[in-house]
Amino acid sequence: MGLFDKLTGEFVDIIEWTDNSNDTIVYRFPRYQNEIKMGAKLTVRESQMAVFVNEGKIADVYKPGMYELTTQNMPLMTTLRGWKFGFNSPFKAEVYFVNTKQFVDQKWGTKNPITVDDQRFGMIELRTFGTYAFRVTDAGKFLKEVSGTDGNYTTEEVAGQLRSLVVTKFSDAIGEGNIPIEKFAANLEELSKLGMEKLNADFTEYGLTVTKFLVENVSMPEELKKEIFEYSRLNKIDMQKLAQMKAAKSIEKAAENQGTMGGGMGMGMGFGMGNMMTNMFGQNMMQNQQQNNNQTTPPPVPQDVQYFVAVNGQQTGPFTTTALAQLKQAGQFNSTSLVWKQGMAGWVQASQVAELATIFNSVPPPIPPMA
């Protein structure tokens, strides 16, 4: 074998890659100091793209097909190398095959809880997880922005970066989705759609596209779940009933407080007010049901002015004057109890409120003499 034949045998004349893995995104064709022969055969299979890099710069990018490398079908490489008049000589270039298939079943999840500000329930911590799928849509951009000169770049290497981006953008999507907290479980598909829209706006900067994004679960603290369940059982969901429900809970805590009012009186007042609040809930729900069944029934007569009462340093109520009179008779409300209603500058003793004077000034008639 002559010297020319030996050198010719070192030229690369077939360039191709058959992927035998499920996670390789970028594969650099091994040249081992060999030069690529002008006129060599390049085979780019379906779900692949081939990127030629000349002296650190991305030159030609090939889509699926079979090519004979000539100056006619290598426009950028020809310009960079300065070939003229079809000068047919070997050349050196790095060849990267980029896998453009879908990479499915990529896991994502929140390492730390997502904090969401809800208008009704306040600041809430949520945890969520799911799966997503992506593919490379711009091989040159992905090579330049993500994989670089890595000769065997896999999904494991990019997973951490993509997961962080997924969690960040999904957190933004939750805040902008205007979906009530209690309806998250029933709207996982809508949350998935919102997350996918948010992600693709940023994935394109890396030459990637999210092809599927799924939210599998959204979890929240157990105490919040219980509150939502109680809230959903009310006949109508409105702010007034939510306030009443929370007031009832504060009464239960007050009953357990062995504070300055004494254990017996605190428990007695807590149970008394708890029963009255239960009756108020029942009356409100019955009135709403009657209104729904008979639209011709006139609305209920407006209630008396309602007052809040301080019990063991906690706000309870609101209560009507009739309810306060009942509490007074039960020994659970007196003239020194602190009260407040809308329009008052601050808390005052009940004896200083003119509207409540009749409760404390009422004197029973004399007992008739015995026969």
Q: Determine the pLDDT at residue 195.
A: 87
CA–CA dist 307, 304 (Å, integer): 9
**Statement to judge: residues 110 and 95 lie in one domain:** no
pLDDT band at 315 (very low <50, low <70, confident <90, very high): confident
CA–CA dist 333, 148 (Å, integer): 77
Q: What's the start-to-end Cα distance of the chain, in Å?
A: 148
Considering the domain boundaries, does residue 15 fall inside one? Answer: yes
**Statement to judge: residues 352 and 315 lie in one domain:** yes
Which CATH number do you get for residue 247?
3.30.1490.40
pTM for the structure as a whole: 0.57
pLDDT band at 53 (very low <50, low <70, confident <90, very high): very high
The tens digit of pLDDT for each residue in 61-106 reads 999 999 999 888 888 888 887 776 666 678 888 999 999 999 999 9
**Statement to judge: residues 80 and 111 lie in one domain:** no
Considering the domain boundaries, does residue 297 fall inside one? Answer: no
- Whether 305 and 341 have beta carbons less than 8 Å apart is answered as yes
Please tell me the least confidently modeled range out of 24-28, 47-51, 342-346. 342-346
Considering the domain boundaries, does residue 290 fall inside one? Answer: no
**Statement to judge: residues 208 and 147 lie in one domain:** yes
**Statement to judge: residues 177 and 75 lie in one domain:** no
Considering the domain boundaries, does residue 299 fall inside one? Answer: no
Mean pLDDT for the chain overall: 78
For residue 183, the Cα-to-chain-centroid distance in whole angstroms is 12
Per the rule left: phi > 0, alpha: psi between -120 and 50, beta: everything else, 313 is left
Q: Where are the alpha helices (DSSP H) in the chain?
A: 3-10, 75-81, 139-142, 155-176, 188-203, 222-233, 239-256, 263-293, 321-329, 357-361
**Statement to judge: residues 247 and 343 lie in one domain:** yes
pLDDT band at 5 (very low <50, low <70, confident <90, very high): very low
**Statement to judge: residues 47 and 84 lie in one domain:** yes
CA–CA dist 250, 312 (Å, integer): 10
Of 99, 122, 145, the one marking the end of a domain is 99
Calculate ∠ Cα 90-24-207, nearest 5°. Answer: 80
For residue 260, what are the domain limits?
236-283+304-361
Q: Determine the pLDDT at residue 66.
A: 95
**Statement to judge: residues 110 and 197 lie in one domain:** yes
Considering the domain boundaries, does residue 184 fall inside one? Answer: yes
CA–CA dist 214, 225 (Å, integer): 23
Please tell me the least confidently modeled range out of 139-153, 217-231, 269-283. 269-283
